[in-house]
């Protein structure tokens, strides 16, 4: 065999590949396959074919060998130098070669030429990057829905960049952050792995703190009964940073699902509420009875009756006048979350006595004195009639409707005049 030495370029390539193997824990078969693929690509480009080359890779030792196989032919009859070798040249390698035998000769990397070696290194670097991206994508794809803690690296206007323990980039978009979230570089932030995108070959790992999954995973971590399968979370409705409602069910009659999730004096929710920037959390017992579920979802309001329109998924809820503001909630949050939790559009109505009902007047009758958009705002928070508005507290209307105090006072004056 001809003497050969490993070139500096070859040593560098093996070193790069060995570092990649150690860092990413890629299996031996993949290592061998990728390196062999890179070599064969260059050989095929130079000689037009790589079929008569043997490539032996030893990733454990960080070494490789390439053998060029050619058939011995009589002198002067070499037609394809890539696949044939003359008898005299073969006997310079070993003097006992004969015509028809195969010569397997160790190839020196320097024989490839500088351009070919450069191409080989570039191809290898590209394949290594592809493997890194594939490994990263597969790892995080399997972890979608999992809560992760990562270090804040940089914050921009539209997103925050975090780094995991291995230095992988994680993105927390502004729309996936809770109102009030503010992170400084070096801090640790918690979020749920929302999704992994694979655009342009490089995976984008998107995190979220507003997803219902984030609240669910934290609740699962705090409540052993959920971990043990004794309590199931059926649905979560969130308005991030403001309020959330959670429907839970127990499979053990001895366990109160609401009490287990809340804990003694709210102990199991305290840390979650702090993480969610003060987001209030209501826990209710789930039931398949839609009317009863709506009643529970509107807690703390006391509901008198519920009329369902199952085809349109709408519900009309009737309450005593003093319960309307509780059902609607601050800024309409309570009724909005109840609708999200149950999957029905909920309209809240003040239940009137029969005598009152006969004397009442629809708000639509006042369009000549009150601008239509103001009437629409009153309807949004559950009012349909004049006495419904007059029976509510002024402060509640100001707080829940998108109206100025002066506008509310003028509306009350106009409606009151109708009954004087």
| CATH number of the domain bearing residue 60 | 3.30.1480
By C-alpha distance, which of 262, 267, 225, 265 is closest to 246?
A: 262
To which residue do tokens 């509306």 refer?
A: 411
- Are both 296 and 409 inside the same structural domain? no
| Angle (nearest 5°) at CA 288 between 282 and 289 | 95
The tokens for 294 are 């709506």
What is the distance between the alpha carbons of residues 418 and 420, in angstroms, rounded to a whole number? Answer: 6
What is the distance between the alpha carbons of residues 420 and 415, in angstroms, rounded to a whole number? Answer: 9
Count CB neighbours of 224 within 10 A. 12
Q: Using an 8 Å Cβ cutoff, are 247 and 341 in contact?
A: yes
Q: Using an 8 Å Cβ cutoff, are 70 and 107 in contact?
A: no
- DSSP bridge pairs for 84: 71
The tokens for 62 are 């960080």
pLDDT at 25 over 70: no
Domain of 414, CATH number, reads: 1.10.150
Close Cβ partners of 56 (under 8 Å, ≥ 6 residues apart): 64, 65, 66, 67
- Are both 164 and 121 inside the same structural domain? no
Which of 11-25, 142-156, 371-385 shows the lowest mean pLDDT across its residues? 11-25
Mean per-residue pLDDT of the chain: 86
pLDDT at 283 over 50: yes
Cα dihedral sign for 209, 210, 213, 214? Answer: positive
pLDDT confidence bin for 1, thresholds 50/70/90: very low
What is the distance between the alpha carbons of residues 167 and 181, in angstroms, rounded to a whole number? Answer: 23
What is the distance between the alpha carbons of residues 122 and 402, in angstroms, rounded to a whole number? Answer: 62
In the listed set 208, 236, 257, which residue is the last one of a domain according to the structure? 208
Q: What is the pLDDT of residue 8?
A: 56
DSSP for residue 210: S
Q: Where are the beta strands (DSSP E) in 241-300?
A: 243-250, 280-285
pLDDT confidence bin for 4, thresholds 50/70/90: very low
Q: What is the share, in percent, of the chain residues with pLDDT greater than 70? A: 90
Q: What are phi and psi of 239, to 5 degrees?
A: -120, 95
Global pTM reads: 0.68
- Are both 249 and 333 inside the same structural domain? yes
Q: What is the pLDDT of residue 33?
A: 81
HSE of 328, CA atoms in CB hemisphere, 13 A: 27
Reported as a single tens digit per residue, the pLDDT across 45-74 is 877 888 888 888 776 666 678 888 999 999
- Are both 69 and 92 inside the same structural domain? yes
Q: What is the pLDDT of residue 181?
A: 93
Q: What is the share, in percent, of the chain residues with pLDDT greater than 90? A: 49
Reported as a single tens digit per residue, the pLDDT across 223-265 is 999 999 999 999 999 999 999 999 999 988 899 999 999 999 9
pLDDT confidence bin for 26, thresholds 50/70/90: low
Close Cβ partners of 310 (under 8 Å, ≥ 6 residues apart): 290
Which of 50-59, 109-118, 128-137, 332-341 shows the lowest mean pLDDT across its residues? 109-118
Average pLDDT in the 198-221 region?
Answer: 93
- Are both 24 and 119 inside the same structural domain? yes
- Are both 184 and 278 inside the same structural domain? no
Reported as a single tens digit per residue, the pLDDT across 378-391 is 888 888 888 888 88
Q: Using an 8 Å Cβ cutoff, are 237 and 289 in contact?
A: no
| Angle (nearest 5°) at CA 304 between 301 and 308 | 100
pLDDT at 2 over 50: no
In the listed set 114, 136, 158, which residue is the last one of a domain according to the structure? 136
Give residue 298's domain range: 213-310+324-350
- Are both 96 and 38 inside the same structural domain? yes
Domain of 190, CATH number, reads: 2.40.50.140
| Inside any domain, residue 16 | yes
DSSP for residue 226: H
Q: What are phi and psi of 31, to 5 degrees?
A: -60, -50
Q: What is the pLDDT of residue 420?
A: 65
């Amino acid at each position: 065999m001809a003497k050969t030495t490993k070139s500096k370029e070859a040593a560098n390539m093996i070193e790069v590949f060995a570092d990649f193997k150690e860092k990413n824990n890629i299996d031996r078969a993949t290592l061998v396959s990728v390196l062999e693929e890179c070599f064969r690509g260059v050989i095929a480009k130079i000689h037009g074919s790589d079929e008569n080359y043997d490539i032996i890779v030893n990733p454990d030792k960080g070494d490789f060998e390439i053998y060029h196989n050619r058939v011995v032919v009589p002198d002067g009859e070499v037609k394809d130098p890539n696949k044939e070798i003359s008898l005299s040249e073969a006997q310079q390698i070993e003097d006992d070669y004969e015509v028809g035998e195969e010569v397997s000769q160790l190839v020196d990397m320097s024989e490839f030429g500088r351009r070919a070696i450069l191409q080989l290194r570039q191809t290898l670097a590209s394949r290594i990057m592809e493997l890194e991206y594939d490994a990263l994508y597969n790892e995080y794809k399997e972890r979608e829905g999992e809560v992760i803690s990562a270090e804040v690296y940089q914050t921009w206007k539209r997103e925050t960049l975090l780094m995991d323990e291995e230095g992988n980039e994680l993105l927390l978009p502004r729309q996936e952050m809770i109102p009030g979230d503010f992170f400084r570089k070096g801090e640790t932030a918690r979020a749920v792995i929302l999704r992994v995108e694979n655009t342009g070959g490089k995976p984008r790992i998107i995190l979220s703190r507003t997803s219902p999954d984030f609240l669910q995973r934290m609740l699962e971590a705090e409540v052993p009964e959920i971990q043990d399968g004794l309590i199931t979370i059926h649905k979560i409705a969130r308005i991030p940073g403001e309020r959330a409602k959670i429907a839970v069910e127990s499979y053990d009659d001895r366990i109160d699902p609401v009490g287990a999730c809340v804990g003694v004096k709210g102990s199991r929710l305290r840390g979650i509420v702090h993480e969610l920037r003060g987001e209030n959390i209501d826990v209710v017992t789930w039931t398949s009875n839609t009317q009863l579920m709506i009643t529970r979802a509107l807690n703390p309001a006391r509901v008198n009756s519920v009329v369902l329109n199952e085809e349109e998924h709408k519900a009309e809820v009737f309450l005593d006048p003093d319960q309307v503001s509780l059902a609607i909630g601050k800024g309409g949050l309570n009724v909005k979350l109840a609708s999200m939790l149950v999957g029905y559009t909920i309209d809240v109505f003040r239940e009137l006595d029969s005598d009152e009902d006969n004397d009442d007047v629809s708000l639509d009758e006042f369009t000549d004195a009150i601008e239509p958009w103001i009437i629409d705002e009153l309807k949004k928070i559950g009012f349909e009639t004049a006495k419904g508005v007059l029976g509510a507290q002024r402060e509640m209307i100001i707080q829940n409707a998108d109206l100025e105090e002066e506008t509310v006072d003028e509306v009350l004056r106009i409606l009151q005049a109708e009954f004087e």
